[in-house]
Amino acid sequence: MERRQLGGGLTVSAIGLGCMGMSQSYGPSTGTRDDHIELIRSAVDQGVTLFDTAEVYGPYVNEELVGEALAPVRDQVVIATKFGFAFNPDGTQSGLTSRPEHIRAAVEGSLRRLGTDRIDLYYQHRVNPDMPIEEVAGAVKDLIAEGKVLHFGMSEAAAATIRRAHAVQPVTALQSEYSLWWRRPEEEVLPVLAELGIGFVPFSPLGKGFLTGKIDAATEFTTGDIRAAIPRFAAEAREANQAVVDLLATIAAQKDATPAQIALAWLLAQKPWIAPIPGTRRPERLQENLAAADINLTEDDLAAIEDASAKITVLGARYPEHLEKMTDL
């Protein structure tokens, strides 16, 4: 697979693998833990080198899964994980925290669960408004000096916050939602990343599955599926937003591809330092997603997508209000 360079010289596969859904957020999985380990190792065999997890996924169990799956090839891959949430004794979330002492405790926990001596890319999961970002960046800088962390990342951070952090410790990558139905990063964030030489790792590049064309107004979400609480996934919103999928399907038919592949190819065509991390629990979807790296969208294709998408108004917020408030955007 094509390789791409994020900031700070970190080279990764053009498409990575988001591993969160193997442990939470999308309802019960039909696969077992062994199935998920096999899927992650299959991704490695198909050229994926960037794997994304976080202490909050599960919590904790997703890091354990990723660590076990990647142990045989640890030196061949980039493991990204995240800090920034506080937890109650029972493991439930109790808010945000990025105090330096918390970061130090969090990194030790992540290293242990991942079974590794260093974290390749360590993201602040959410910006904590109660802690100056300069102190956060300084704490990660100390971990980099100790060799426990190799690169600093941020997630869902605003342009001004990124600048302040980068002045203390260079930011290698920003992770935020970005796709054809969520393009806010284009307004302020992408220009700052280009200016500072920071890579971009879009999560939910397939719109939490909607852009695959496999979800419609009649879809019923299972217990534990976060999409049931997201305004953009209300039945009336899905019906209205089908126009985005129809656009992708039109281009896909011309390219002998799927809507998901066109959505990913569109992202890859935006900047050479963008590496999306679609998640999946199914081998056939993994293969489909990775094949998007081989699709070439011409300037005419991109112009046609831009023209058509400009006429579409996406209905519904991307998060419920309490989750949107946790972002820095």
Q: Which residues are catalytic?
A: 57
**Closest-CA residue to 200 (of 299, 271, 111, 265):** 271
Q: Which residues pair with 95 in a beta bridge?
A: 86
| Amino acid symbol at 168 | V
Counting other chains too, the contacts that 318-327 makes at CB distance below 8 Å and 24 or more residues apart are 318/177, 318/182, 318/230, 318/231, 318/232, 319/230, 319/231, 320/229, 320/230, 320/231, 326/96, 326/126, 326/156, 327/126, 327/127, 327/156
Can you tell me the distance from the alpha carbon of 244 to that of 263, in angstroms, rounded to the nearest whole number? 10
Give the 3-state secondary structure of residue 15: coil
Q: Which two tokens stand for residue 214?
A: 């496999």
| Structure tokens belonging to residue 133 | 């970002």
Quickly count: other Cβ atoms within 10 Å of residue 135's Cβ.
15
> How far apart (Å, rounded) are the C-alpha atoms in residues 64 and 68?
6
User: Residue 170 and residue 102: Cα distance in Å, rounded?
Assistant: 21
